[in-house]
Structure 1
Amino acid sequence: MDIRPAATTAELIAAEHLYDGPARKEWAERFLAAPGHLMLIAYVDGRPAGMVSGIEMLHPDKGSEMCLYELSVDERHRRQGIGRALILALLAVARERGCYDMWVGVDTDNDPALATYRSAGAKDDGVFTMLTWELPNS
């Protein structure tokens, strides 16, 4: 397995089977151009087998923190340590960037995700509620 940051739209689009839906070239371009956004892709036999995306966020009184935005491992490659390796690789990037922590939001009934995050050293912060505003696409 080889983990490396996505640097081109072609790499992001080649990994679209790991996303919730199809990749769009214009969104891939914006992703790569956005400061603080990154995606690490795990390759097995030269093909994308997993990915983790992160967003470095800054605040005037806190400094920099990393949000683990999304983690995905192709079904045929699950339970082989790829998810954990991707999380640890994102943690290493967060440390390199001087982040004071890294966090992820996860559904409380998503046992596989919770187990993966905990295996990489994450601790439960307690009860968390996420509220969402849906915005129409214009």
Structure 2
Amino acid sequence: MTPKAEPLAYSIRRLAPGDDIRYGEMLDLFAEAFDDPESYSSARPSPDYRHVVLAKQDFFALVALAGGRVVGALVAYELPKFEQDRSEFYIYDLAVAEEWRRQGVATAIIGDLGEIAKASGDSVMYVQADYGDDPAIALYTKLGTREDVMHFDISID
């Protein structure tokens, strides 16, 4: 009988003002995972801007740390609803370093956000997945109910 591999050790925490190095590592991870250095690396926010963003009560940057580095990250926003006295959480970005994929990191980070949402009295988190992103679609299908919608980017030029 082959011994079962030990799960890889990581911890998850929310970034706070002053977490500049981890913030940069999070952006590096998104740039690599999404193959989009233009969006995540070309015009990084100033330390003052990062501080303001991380201090916002409705902004959530959760990172999975292993061996002193960011191996997973999630950015979400808490959006107050107008029609009811409640909020919903929108998962804006989620990525896991390639060598850490299929280890439960993404599920764990989403689970931690769910605990934050639950503590706030909220009951819904939602996320967008693009057609063709089969790993993301499989993950989100495992965790929730699919709703097909259309997304439009509206220029403000």
TM-score above 0.5? yes
Deviation at 1:100, TM superposition (A): 2.7
2:150 to 103, 116, 129: 129
1:97 to 78, 97, 120: 120
Does residue 31 of structure 1 match 2:40?
Answer: no
Give, in whole Å, the separation in 2 of the partners of 1:19 and 1:109.
18
Structure-to-structure mapping, 1:1-138, within 5 angstroms: 1-7=10-16, 8-10=18-20, 11-20=22-31, 21-22=40-41, 23-26=44-47, 27-62=49-84, 63-119=86-142, 121-125=143-147, 127-135=148-156
Give, in whole Å, the separation in 2 of the partners of 1:72 and 1:25.
23
User: What SS is found at the alignment partner of 1:114?
Assistant: helix
- Deviation string for 1:72-114 (max 9, x for gaps)? 1111211111111111111111111111311011113211101
Residues 89-98 or 28-37, more deviating: 28-37
Deviation at 1:39, TM superposition (A): 0.7
User: What SS is found at the alignment partner of 1:31?
Assistant: helix
Residues 69-78 or 11-20, more deviating: 11-20
Give, in whole Å, the separation in 2 of the partners of 1:15 and 1:99.
26
Residues 98-107 or 30-39, more deviating: 30-39
Gaps of at least 5 residues in structure 2 are: 1-9, 32-39
Deviation at 1:122, TM superposition (A): 1.2
Residue identity (%): 26
Gaps of at least 5 residues in structure 1 are: none
- After the TM superposition, list the runs of 4 or more consecutive aligned residues in structure 1 that deviate by more than 4 angstroms: none
TM-score, normalization by structure 1: 0.87
TM-score, normalization by structure 2: 0.77
Deviation at 1:58, TM superposition (A): 0.3
> 2:99 corresponds to which letter in structure 1?
R
